[in-house]
Each structure stands twice: as C-alpha cells, then as structure tokens.
Amino acid sequence: MPAATYQPEGCEYTGAGTISILHEEYLAAMLDGPHCLISFDAVKMTDFFLGDPRLQDDHLVLDRGAVWSTRVLPPQFVVDYPLIVRTSVPVRGGDIRVDLLTEQEAPLCTVFIASGANRRGTTSICWRGFLPQSDVSHVPLRWRVARKMKRPPFRVHTQVDGKLLAALLEAPSRDLARLHDSSLIPLRAAV
C-alpha cells in the first residue's frame, strides 16, 4: 500500500479481493464510471464531469458531480452539485485514490486502492480508506449513524455488472491510454 501519500485520519477500513476484468479495463473504468467499482453510502454519482481530466503527479485526475441519494437529483444542465467524487488514476503505476468531497472540497471520505494484473484476465485489488476528522453536521443522518457505528461508508466492488461496464462511454480513459502510451520507450530507442 502507498506509504508517503497515505496518511489516514480517524477510523480506517481495509479489504482485498479479485475482480474479473483486465487491469487496464479496471483503471479505465475508474475514470469513466467509478460507480461500477466503488460506492459511497447514501451518495449517487452523476455522469457530469466538473472540468477536464488533468495530469497531476503522474496521475490522471478527474472530478465528477455527486448528490446525496436522499435528495432529488438536479437537472443535467445544473453544475451546482453538493458533492464531488475525485478519482486519481496512475499513468505509470501506483495507487488509485478516490475522494468524496463537499462542494467546498472538504474531505468526507478517502479511499486508496492498490491494483495489479492477476492471472487469466483478472485484477487483484486491496484498499484502505478512512473518514477524516471533519464536521459532519451537514451530512444525512444515515451517514452520521454509519460513522457512529464504525461501519465503512464506502464499498469497493469485487463483482461488476458487465452490462453496466460495457455501457460506459470511453471519455477520460482515452486520455489515460494516450498518456500511458506516450510514457513507454520505443524498443528502437532502448537498444
């Protein structure tokens, strides 16, 4: 697991598993549709990107809007979402980071996922997540109760709906593939 970038606060949750998709597809799905791979209790992720993907510390970072599932989803053209899901996917190897943030970018939950290619087209994952010590008075009661009972407010999925995954539009993952390909050294140059 990441050492320098992983600095947990408060209650910590861990787990591991194997998921039946290729590692490259796992990374692409984390950008194109993280709701297929991870979920936060009482949160609905939207398809609305809050800006373009950006390269930051050898990771492709993308923000998307989210709402509390207890509230009505705003129309598609509204850009005022009360929550942000920020995914940070490595270009050259490293950890995946998924943050649930308020619209003021105060952290509500942080999850680090280490992933790697496994046998026969599967991907091994292990994760650590934590709830930062922050004010939760503005979050739904369901979230606060789970926190008091020390239940994890997120779930990393090890079973994925293939139809849901196939329906994802390839958008930010194209940038990841382009960055990954440009970081490889051609064989002729290495010889």
Could you report the per-residue pLDDT of 78-133, keeping only the tens digit for each? 556 889 999 999 987 789 999 999 888 888 899 999 999 988 889 999 999 988 87
CATH number of the domain residue 126 falls in: 3.30.530
Residue 83 domain boundaries = 12-160
58, two tokens = 């050898």
Burial category of 39 from C-beta neighbours within 10 Å (exposed 0-12, middle 13-18, buried 19 and up): middle
Domain annotation covers residue 175:
no
Average pLDDT score, the chain: 82
What is the total count of domains within the chain?
Answer: 1
Q: What are phi and psi of 109, to 5 degrees?
A: -160, 140
Q: Does any domain span residue 184?
A: no
For residues 35 and 167, give the distance between their C-alpha atoms in angstroms, rounded to a whole number.
12
Which residues 6+ apart lie within 8 Å of 142 measured at CB? 41, 42, 70
In a domain, 76, yes or no: yes
Task: Indicate if the pLDDT at residue 187 is higher than 60.
Answer: no
**Whole-number CA gyration radius for the chain:** 17
- Please tell me the predicted confidence (pLDDT) of residue 48: 86
Q: Return d(Cα 117, Cα 184) in angstroms, integer.
A: 18
Relative orientation angle of helices 172-183 and 23-32, to the nearest 10 degrees: 140
